[in-house]
Structure 1
Amino acid sequence: MTAPYEALAQVYDRWNARADYQRWARFLDECFTGSGSTTRVLDVCCGTGRMIGPLQRLGYQVAGVDGSAAMLAEAKANVAPGTRLRHARLPGAPPEDPVADAAISCFDSVNYFVGDEDLLGLFRFVAASLRAGGLYVFDTNSPYKLREFYGNNNFGDDFGEFAYVWRNRLADQRIRFLITIFTAADSGYDRHEEVHEQRLYDVEEITAAANTAGFAVVGLKDNYSTTEAHEKTLRQTWILRREST
């Protein structure tokens, strides 16, 4: 058994090649343009940096922070030379210095904060790393998606150079993903297993934690679009504004 994202980092970008990062970046750009002067952006849980590159090409100065050294190693190929990529476990890490004008957390990173105080800790880290009036935009897998789509289901696919089997177990407000990855090797395939866990967060719970950390919820959209989130939304896109202290 390997740590989450240790083996997955090697194939993550190929696995998620269909993710529409460019559209997400345009949505973020529109949010930032409407919120005042935004130059510095912090990508919280940046992973392999697939959101950093598109934002840099739009003219933003972007730094990243992530808890997986393996994912950050892959990120170097997706970002501009000299990009600050910080390895830090959240919540609990010291805030960024200097503070950013905006922050993001994409691809359901927030669902991985499963402890009872983890969500509030994450929001407090972001609030301390963000100027007053700055936006924090992130997405979550909705409870509807985690229950009805992932649920206690199994998935798998063969990409040629790697394959995976993904088995889910849902219990109360948490879902565990047992992911078995097979990567091509000289003598066939190497087998790796990782356990991932996400938490089902309802709107009220996220709103309460955001307010406690000093944020106001200014938008809740359907998958990086102008459509309001609804009961069948799969990817909820949250727009928070850091209030003055």
Structure 2
Amino acid sequence: MSYGRFAEVYDKLMNDMPYDDWTRFVLDRAKHHKVSGKKLLDVGCGTGEWTIKIAQEGFDVTGIDLSETMLAVASQKARQSGVALQLFQQDMAEADGLGMFDIITIFCDSINYVETEEDVRKTFAAMYQLLNPGGLLLFDVHSIYKIEHLFIDQTFTWDDGDIAYIWNSFPGESPHSVEHELSFFVIEDPSRNSYIRFDELHKQRTYTIDNYIAMTEEAGFDMQSISADFTDLPPKEDSERIFFTVRK
């Protein structure tokens, strides 16, 4: 998933994301598990909005993303914020050569963009190799409920005058997967009310909680906790975002 021109409008469309909740989750887990080191790898860092926020909490942060365009935006934002980030274009399933970390995060359902189960397994194996002993991998995923009941066969629209989109979601080819077809309309000349259109296809796939437990344990991790929707409570049938804390 390269995101293409989506990087141009990403921050505007994502300005209501719960970035502070992800920050609290990291700080709480680091304290609870007594992780004293401050080296953090943010996987799927996108335009760096949350990556910058967690760096401002005192972490030494490296970010990786598959999209060169997203990383260019993240680099510019980091400079403007006076935050030092190391940013690299890498596939999470093949991440290496980045050094060692105390905490690795894969948030905002980034791992759901990994299209095959083999590559999800490779991702967990790669993260294990990048963590110091005792380090934490923190990640979240869409629940099966969200994929199958809140996304599939749904249409979403949005228009703020400068940017508009039509977002249609369809069943994917694999179990518990969805394909999002998005058409964006970005204003080009306000005086003439003219827009540029571009289209994106985003594919996401999730797995059962037991699958995620098995895949992380196969990579060598010890499962520490599973929770839902930014709470400390276990997932319910209608939970939308599942959080995993695993330790090396």
What corresponds to 1:168 in structure 2? 169
Q: Which amino acid aligns with 1:92?
A: E
Q: Secondary structure at the match of 2:153?
A: coil
Equivalences for 1:118-133 in 2 at 5 Å?
118-133=119-134
| Cα deviation code 1:41-61 (max 9, x no counterpart) | 000111111221221121111
- The equivalent residue for 2:155 is 154
Helix, strand or coil at the partner of 2:237: coil
Q: 2:234 maps to what in 1?
A: 228
Residue correspondence of structure 1 range 19-30 to structure 2 within 5 A: 19-30=17-28
Aligned residue for 2:158, secondary structure, equals strand
Does the CA-based 8 Å contact 1:182-1:191 persist in structure 2? yes
* Cα offset, 1:141, TM superposition: 0.7
- 1:94 is displaced (CA, Å) by 2.3
Deviation at 1:77, TM superposition (A): 4.1
Deviations 1:165-215 (A, max 9, x none): 111111433211111111111361111111110112111111111011111
Equivalence for 1:54:
53
Q: 1:113 to 1:104 in 2, by over 3 A?
A: same
- Return 5+ residue gaps in structure 1 as ranges: none
Q: Distance in 2 between matches of 1:227 and 1:173?
A: 23
* Length-normalised TM-score, structure 2: 0.91
User: Contact 1:39–1:101 (CA<8 Å) still a contact in 2?
Assistant: yes
Code of the residue aligned with 1:217 in structure 2: it is: M
Tell me the equivalent position of 1:75.
74
- Counterpart for residue 88 of structure 1: 90
Cα distance, 1:160 vs. partner? 1.6
Change over 3 Å in CA distance of 1:232–1:166 after alignment to 2 = same
Give the deviation of 1:95 after TM superposition.
4.3
Residue 191 (structure 1) aligned with residue 204 (structure 2) = no
Report deviation, 1:83: 1.0
Q: How does 1:101-140 map to 2 (within 5 A)?
A: 101-140=102-141
Task: Show structure 2 runs of 5+ residues with no match.
Answer: none
The CA distance in 1 between the partners of 2:13 and 2:45, in whole Å, is: 16
- Structure with more of its chain in helix, by fraction: 2
Cα RMSD (Å) of the superposition?
A: 1.5
Q: 2:55–2:83: 8 Å Cα contact kept in structure 1?
A: no
> Which amino acid is 1:111 matched to?
N
Taking the aligned partners of 2:76 and 2:26, their CA distance within structure 1 comes to 22
1:13 and 2:11 matched: yes
Q: Greater relative contact order: 1 or 2 (C-alpha under 8 angstroms, separation 6 or more)?
A: 1
Percent of counterpart pairs with the same letter?
Answer: 28
1:17 Cα shift? 0.8
1:1-55 superposed Cα distances (whole Å, 9 cap, x missing partner):
xx74111111111111111211220121111122231210000111111221221
Q: In the comparison of the two structures, how many residue pairs are matched?
A: 239
Question: What secondary structure is seen at the aligned counterpart in 1 of 2:215?
Answer: helix
Cα deviation per residue 1:123-174 (whole Å; 9 max; x = unaligned)? 0111111111111111101000010100111111102211111111114332
Q: Is the 8 A contact 2:226 2:244 kept in 1?
A: yes
For residue 185 of structure 2, what is the aligned residue in structure 1?
182
